[in-house]
Amino acid sequence: MPSVSDLSNSNYLQKNDVEPAILVTIDGYDRANLAQDGQPKEMRYVLKFKECKPLVLNKTNGNRIQVALGSDDFDDWIGKQIVLYNDENVEFGGKITGGIRVRAKKKAANNDKPPVGEDTTDYSEEKDDVPF
């Protein structure tokens, strides 16, 4: 059934695009001008993926990727996988709006020790079904 969110034709990922959660492979990054027409430039980093549209990168998600992948260098992230999901508790402009968040792939059940930098937080309360 269509909804108002289906009317958006964004070039970048939105929270509805990652519900349910998706596993993505980082393919690169770029800087893009996100300013509205007629407004001063607003250059932001965007993270590109093999599987879907790019994600406008913010400080929170950048920090989460750094922890998940064990590096703060964007070049080290290329070829690595992360999970994108809609976190209903994200705040914007003082209101709870929901938004895209990032986490590491879940470790395999047969792996006793997580890889360096892997997020070992228990995400069992999340609604995603990405088993990685």
What token pair was written down for 65?
A: 């990727």
Question: Per the domain annotation, does 116 fall within a domain?
Answer: no
Question: Per the domain annotation, does 62 fall within a domain?
Answer: yes
d(CA 78, CA 30): 12
DSSP string, 13-65: --GGGGSS-EEEEEEEEEEEE-PPTTSPP-EEEEEEESSS--EE--HHHHHHH
20 prior amide bond cis, ω within 30 = yes
Domains: count for the chain: 1
Question: Per the domain annotation, does 1 fall within a domain?
Answer: no
Question: Per the domain annotation, does 63 fall within a domain?
Answer: yes
pTM, rounded to two decimals: 0.75
pLDDT at 118 over 90: no
SS3 at position 7 = helix
SS3 at position 81 = strand
Mean per-residue pLDDT of the chain? 84
pLDDT reported for residue 93 = 87
Question: Per the domain annotation, does 131 fall within a domain?
Answer: no
3-state helix, strand and coil shares in percent for the chain, rounded to the nearest 5: 15, 30, 55
What token pair was written down for 28?
A: 């690169």
What's the pLDDT band for 91 if we cut at 50, 70, 90? confident
Question: Per the domain annotation, does 5 fall within a domain?
Answer: no
SS3 at position 6 = helix
What's the pLDDT band for 115 if we cut at 50, 70, 90? low
* Segments forming the whole domain that contains residue 66: 11-103
Question: Per the domain annotation, does 68 fall within a domain?
Answer: yes
d(CA 23, CA 40): 34
Question: Per the domain annotation, does 122 fall within a domain?
Answer: no
pLDDT tens per residue across span 10-68: 899 999 999 999 999 999 999 999 999 999 999 999 999 999 999 999 999 999 999 99
